[in-house]
Amino acid sequence: MYVLGIETSCDETGVAIYHAKRGLINHVLYSQVEMHSEYGGVVPELASRDHIRKLVPLIKQLIQESQLTSADIEGIAYTAGPGLMGALLVGASTARSLAWTWKIPAVAVHHMEGHLLAPMLEENPPAFPFVALLISGGHTLLVQVNQIGEYLLLGESLDDAAGEAFDKTAKLLGLSYPGGPKLSKLAEQGYPQIKFPRPMTDRPGLDFSFSGLKTFALNTINASEKTSQDKADIAAGFQLAVAETLTIKCKRALQKTGLKRLVVAGGVSANSQIRSLLTEMTIKEQAQIYFPRLEFCTDNGAMIAYAGCQRLMLGQQQGLDIFARPRWPISELY
């Protein structure tokens, strides 16, 4: 079964074809980052309009490059939420219309389910059950994954998501949007001599809070001489605090659930310090760790095609209505 996956929840137009037996056939991504960086963040109306311009040509290119025709596609998976309403509607209505025209089923995919299944596209995929840490621009979730669709929420961010905290702190340091990867690069030049707090680690529980780190960064920047070394040191202190906080919570989640497999996905899972601290922790805990390849950490169509293919094979599909949910708690999938 060839499944076309469509991702348009935010500022990347991602499309992919996944085959139930042959695996990932091809994927194409168009990023709007350059367009939004001028405004310091994603402008929802511009995002929707750009998805409209890019989506159909990208699907054509994808099918052609895969040496397939539209007649080969047997199902369509689209991101139905969470995300920006206008952006989601472009993907959902395109997917639904194509499915109707091609007389094939369409299935709505939860964006965070796409992220958490992204390591399944790698050579050594995790077996169920596992703990998943999902760290993106919009969400920070710790989830116990028992099987496809059975997700128990263990913890979440009570305020800013991890990626949001990276982006906001990067902005304070004068870095352009999206600041996460730029802050990480800057941190390489710094020393984490300023000790940032490790929020919510001194009490039991698996929830997160990252907004205080941004405020701490602001106060530290204001109190410094704002030299480039000061900025690099603040970036290093901030990044280490996020990495250690995530590591403490993941260790707790593994111990609490008794599971020995940890999946880390979402845009922030591309961060090398976070990857290395989490990897060290899992070695000590005698657990296995799984990441998506770097290009599938951030938003992409491949993870949506994969998740949709699994759901279609379980016999699930949506009706003719266009399904888009900007807010959609992952726990509601269960």
CB 142 within 8 A of CB 6: no
- Helix ranges, 106-193 (H): 111-117, 162-172, 179-187
140 contributes a contact to Zn ion by CB under 5 A:
no
* Binding residues among 225-284 for ligand KG4 as defined by CB under 6 A: 266-268, 270-271
Provide the residue type at 236 as one letter.
A
Does 113 help bind ligand KG4 (rule: CB under 6 A)? no
Binding to Zn ion by CB under 5 A, coded x per residue (else -) over 293-332, reads ------x---------------------------------
Which pairing describes strands 140-147 and 261-265: parallel, antiparallel, or unpaired? unpaired
Q: Which of 18-26, 55-63, 174-182, 192-200 is the region at the interface with ligand KG4 (rule: CB under 6 A)?
A: 174-182
Longest dimension (CA), the chain: 64
In the list Zn ion, ligand KG4, none, the entry touching 301 (Cβ below 5 to 8 angstroms by class) is none
The item of Zn ion, ligand KG4, none sharing an interface with residue 166, based on CB under 5 to 8 Å by kind, is ligand KG4
Q: Residue 140: name its binding partner from Zn ion, ligand KG4, none (Cβ under 5 to 8 Å by kind).
A: none
Give CA–CA dist 1/114, Å, rounded: 18
State which of residues 3, 4, 6, 10 lies at the interface with ligand KG4 (CB under 6 A): 10
Q: Determine which residue in the list 143, 168, 299, 307 makes contact with ligand KG4, applying CB under 6 A.
A: 299
Angle at which helices 179-187 and 272-284 pack, to 10 degrees? 70
Interface with Zn ion, residue 136, by CB under 5 A: yes
Give CA–CA dist 230/173, Å, rounded.
10
Element holding 77 (H helix, E strand): strand 73-81
Q: Is 190 in the site for ligand KG4 (CB under 6 A)?
A: no
**Number of neighbouring beta carbons within 10 Å of residue 279:** 14
Question: Which of residues 180, 199, 237, 308 is near ligand KG4 by CB under 6 A?
Answer: 180
Q: Give the residue, chosen from 13, 140, 169, 184, that forms a contact with ligand KG4 under the rule CB under 6 A.
A: 184
Q: Which option in ligand KG4, Zn ion, none does residue 180 bind, with CB closer than 5 to 8 A by kind?
A: ligand KG4
Taking the complex as a whole, how short is the minimal distance between the CB of residue 51 and ligand KG4, in angstroms? 15
Under the binding rule (CB under 6 A), the answer on residue 166 touching ligand KG4 is: yes
- Is-contact 301 51, C-beta < 8 A? no
β-bridge mates for residue 208, sequence order: 157
Do residues 110 and 137 touch, judged by C-beta distance below 8 A? no
Q: How many beta carbons lie within 10 A of that of residue 98, not counting itself?
A: 19
Number of residues forming the site for ligand KG4 (CB under 6 A): 19
Pairing of strands 140-147, 130-135: antiparallel
- Residues interacting with ligand KG4, by CB under 6 A? 10, 136-138, 163, 166-167, 178-181, 184, 266-268, 270-271, 298-299
- Residues interacting with Zn ion, by CB under 5 A? 136, 299
